[in-house]
Structure 1
Amino acid sequence: MSSARWGWRRRFGAALAVSAALTVVTAGGAQAAGETTTTDTSDNHQMGASIRAHDGVPQPGAVPSSVDASVPGIDVSSYQGSVNWASYWSAGKKFAYVKATEGTGYTNPDFTQQYNGSYHVGMIRGAYHYGRPDLSGGAAQADYFATHGGGWSKDGKTLPGTLDIEWGPNSDCYGLGASAMVAWIKAFSDEYHRKTTRWPVIYTATSWWSECTGNTGDFSSTNPLWVARYASSAGPLPYRWGFYTFWQYSSTPIDQDSFSADISRLKVLATG
């Protein structure tokens, strides 16, 4: 096991109504002179959909030859509707991430059933936000997320929120250059930390990070990585991350994830 992974473990060991909002496309959410506004309309994108479209996926039913983890989990959104959590618990899934928000104009209509349902069967659960840098600033979206299901509590069963950052609706980088994209992610991360005291997990793909940040932006010392790669291994990781905390390795028959250590360390991550 790498010293970087042990370093992460030591650090952690020690220590929903849809609305529309008029917002501005800036890194931090504040309007600058000459900038135009865009309406943050309701939308619903599923975690990893654009990554699978971009990177491709193995044949249905293919699974990694090995998974560097001992805790299996899943992630869900409104596409799954009301989830039979007892069945997933019986199948051995011990954690779940639930989509809460997107931009500042969408909340998951199934969030309450999914978020509370996973908790009540015994899972450690968390919420995720689908980032939309084309609609509003990072700080504004972090605020929206934190107040619409993405908060954190030190109950030992709530994971820090996740920023899902991947290709836009047009399979692009939302019209942002590399430095502006990094600034947007940092604004989201900093504001979420200010609101909750936790650094958000960052969900992304190495291919996206390379294309849309130009392999810049070092979040490795603060933000746990959730890497998406549908293959027999997680492969090379995004810039400066030496290891992943979560790996989304399949979308069949539902998004399959793994945590990179045992259940005791997952509980530590939840506790903070």
Structure 2
Amino acid sequence: MSKIRVVVAGASGKMGSEALRMIEKQSDLTLVGCVDKQHTGKKVKEIAGLPQFDAIFYNDIEKCLAEVNADVLVDLTSPKAGYKHTKAAILNGVRPVVGTTGFTNEQLSELTQLAAEKKIGAVIAPNFAIGAVLMMQFAKMAAKYFPDVEIIEKHHDQKLDAPSGTAVKTAQLIQEQRNKKNQGHSEEEETILGARGADYDGMRIHSVRLPGLVAHQEVIFGGPGENLKIQHDSFHRESFMSGIKFAIDHVISLDKLVYGLEHLMLG
């Protein structure tokens, strides 16, 4: 069986470099190119701390996809670049696996339609940690019985979007089960604007950004005389790699865009 040929965008970042190390360990994957603002024209093995790949760094997605023969693009960049890279991959017949968050609904709709037109698989996942996907599904189950809920998500201080894609996805899943309810006292007043967090369909989302954090989320449900807390913690970026590998394996056989790893895990 031939190896799946992978391009990684954001390859010199913390998540991207972890993805390179994951690919190095997999006998059925091979790295054929990298897209990054740094190291243009250099081989991966020439960069200190990165695996011994001969794949070249590009600073332009179109040039990369034109010059290398790729099956899958793994994008771990920023919302702006991620959208551009995902669209370029689909148009070039390369299947994107995207861990970048912060896409707008309009962008997701456009990419979904484009993938359907091209009959090409794509996976966009707010979170690739298997435990985080299960946490979101458990929260959805609980929302049927506990309509009062708040989400606290905590990430490193270099994260660009708030709330996180995982928190938004969790709120969307809860919304599917929960009748809209404006929580808190009807006369509640924020004496400091934003103290109660973001309002999503009446539930509240709180974002924490601090050095030392990686990715953490707690979903707290309240009921008469009881609380239910569902929590997931990623202490190292290695926690996302099993989900990325899972998505790479499945995107090859897809003919549409799938948003959320749960659709591949749970059917």
Q: TM-score scaled by structure 2?
A: 0.31
Relative contact order, CA 8 A, sep 6+: which one is greater?
Answer: 1
Which protein has the bigger strand share?
2
Q: TM-score scaled by structure 1?
A: 0.31
